[in-house]
Structure 1
């Protein structure tokens, strides 16, 4: 859902903007002053993609709100609403971090076209979302589905083997002591024989290596532990 915040103290203009943006498919939150705009932004359950700010609002004006929001986010789309005679307001808004301005009065088509264009730019500039997948060489580990594939083929791993793979793939080319592996997979309260690590490594090699007797991925660091080589 495209999420947008509008801060405009004139009720007729605010209602006009809200109606037309909802028709265009946006989820709209509206407030009538700058302080409420900051509060709405900070307390939003879903982050806003675009904020529309009237320049002249009582209390905290649009410029001040623009500056505060830009300090909070470098990717948020900010549009300033200005009167036709307020040429310097346009410059000031852009200098403070606004992305665009719309001059009053404006048509529904102009409003939606300008907001749509900014939303597309914001979406393209947004950082990539966190992924549940870790990729290392031919292996893909998916935390959500709890699976590991090699060259697209699923590997039949036990819970312990999966956890070892997760540890290895998150620490490529890093020599891990047996005690580190034991602590990470079995927990600090495990007091069994550390050789359990070696046993599970051998089992894991049977499943991930092309030639388990000559391991390519799970290599031994003699006298120390193991290293994952992607």
Structure 2
């Protein structure tokens, strides 16, 4: 796996590099935002994952994330945010990041997040040419192996890995209400320690994309959480 890490703190990069080497991961470290984006756009296919700081010289992480997402909805992105800038975390998720890690952080925490994200975005090749769908509801079809999503007879191609996993989890149990805490555990595969803004930010972005195909299928159950229901139009 080849990771692009755009982080201006060289000491942090040196420390993280040692942990990446233990995992036998290749990594490229860039300390300037514009230079990092230029490197990515020069050959996007060489990178399997991007770790991106928000505060960077040259170009900020939010802008970089937006630019990356213009060319790819699938490359996993983990953002590094300062502990006292909660709005940055939500904004980062809204512009397309799949996950975030709050500074200061343990290298082992970052490694765990990367493994969790990669495990969920890896596409299985066997059986990808079959017409069978793992999920088939009234208006939705999903295949986790091919990452194919058909909603209202139209294909959705622009879901990020986390958006796909979130929709898959909800639609796999139609009309079941999931609390935000349950979704954090099921979709993110680890504890977020009550940080429910992560779920809300992803739901907001996912709804925007789903609404392009037809009536909304993700419903808010006030005071509880969210559920999937495509049996009729939902406001």
Q: For 2:56, what is the secondary structure of its paired residue? A: coil
Name the residue aligned to 2:43: 44
Name the residue aligned to 1:25: 24
Name the residue aligned to 2:61: 62
TM superposition shift of 1:20: 1.3
Name the residue aligned to 1:82: 81
TM superposition shift of 1:45: 7.9
For this pair of structures, how many residues does the alignment match? 129
Q: For 1:102, what is the secondary structure of its paired residue? A: strand
Q: In 1, Cα distance between the equivalents of 2:37 and 2:23?
A: 24
TM superposition shift of 1:22: 2.1
Regions of 4+ moved over 3 Å: none
Q: In 1, Cα distance between the equivalents of 2:20 and 2:62?
A: 23
Name the residue aligned to 2:98: 99
TM superposition shift of 1:47: 2.4
TM superposition shift of 1:46: 4.8
CA-based RMSD: 2.3
Q: In 2, Cα distance between the equivalents of 1:117 and 1:99?
A: 11
Query: Does structure 2 retain, via aligned residues, the 8 Å contact 1:6–1:52?
Result: yes
Q: In 2, Cα distance between the equivalents of 1:11 and 1:17?
A: 10
Q: In 2, Cα distance between the equivalents of 1:69 and 1:84?
A: 24
Q: In 2, Cα distance between the equivalents of 1:45 and 1:81?
A: 20
Cα 1:23–1:46 shift into 2, 3 Å: farther
Name the residue aligned to 1:122: 121
Unaligned runs of 5+ in 1: 135-230
Unaligned runs of 5+ in 2: 130-235
Query: Does structure 2 retain, via aligned residues, the 8 Å contact 1:6–1:51?
Result: yes
TM superposition shift of 1:18: 2.1
Q: In 2, Cα distance between the equivalents of 1:56 and 1:32?
A: 11
Considering only CA atoms, is the larger Rg found in Structure 1 or Structure 2? 1
Query: Does structure 2 retain, via aligned residues, the 8 Å contact 1:3–1:46?
Result: no
Greater relative CO (CA pairs within 8 A, separation 6+): 2
